[in-house]
Amino acid sequence: MSVKKVALPPVDKNVLSQAWGFVSTIMTGMRLTLTIFFKQLLKLEKSETLEWPEAPATYGDRFKGRHFLTRREDGQVRCTACYLCATACPAECIHIEAGQHPSNEIEKFPVRFEIDILRCVFCGMCEEACPVDAIRLGPEFAMVGGPGENWVYTKDYLAARPELNSGISSIKSENNKHSTIDHEPTAKERKTELHFGAGH
């Protein structure tokens, strides 16, 4: 491999021309900043600054904020402790302990369901992995607290948070991802069942 030597760039010995280059660049930026400042100060231009928390912030339907657990019609948490959300979580911040449900219609339920919110990356993988629509990421974005704040969200807190008025409210609609016990199968579902049943 050959090394080719090139000449050094010419050095401008005029210090004043170098200084003028720095000053002119700074003045150009300051002129633009002051132009925007006075236009918005005199109400000649709309400001894009959000006066939060005085003015509420609005986000789209796809925003993924603080988690919450949904409930079934009987008021119990929809989670069946299948561990799919904990398995899909890239931050490994979800901890679940399963227990046998008293009702024979429900196989399992979470005795413990905890989320270490400081480890969570709010990717929404838990919401996508859940087969029964038990966990969702809601519209809340403000999460502040002091050193003594408990940042491990428990099942009771996720199911009935004071910020949600001890209920389930979200910008998303209350939909059922999978059929419930009282759900009558549609014609398409019956056809799918017959198709898979014939293969076995």
Reply yes or no on whether the pLDDT at 127 is more than 50: yes
Q: What is the pLDDT of residue 107?
A: 76
Model pLDDT for residues 12-23, shown as the tens digit of each residue: 677 777 778 888
Q: How far apart are CA 92 and CA 82, in angstroms?
A: 15
Q: Which residue has the higher pLDDT, 43 or 18?
A: 43
Q: Mean pLDDT, the chain, as a whole number?
A: 77
Predicted pLDDT at 121 = 93
Encode pLDDT of 132-191 as tens digits. 888 988 878 878 777 777 889 999 888 887 666 544 533 334 444 443 434 444 554 444
- CATH number corresponding to 67-164: 3.30.70.3270
Sequence-separated contacts (24+) of 123-127 with Cβ below 8 Å: 123/64, 123/90, 123/91, 124/64, 125/85, 125/88, 125/89, 125/90, 126/67, 126/85, 126/86, 126/88, 126/89, 126/94, 127/64, 127/85
Q: What number is the average pLDDT over the span 110-125?
A: 92
Domain boundaries, the chain: 67-164
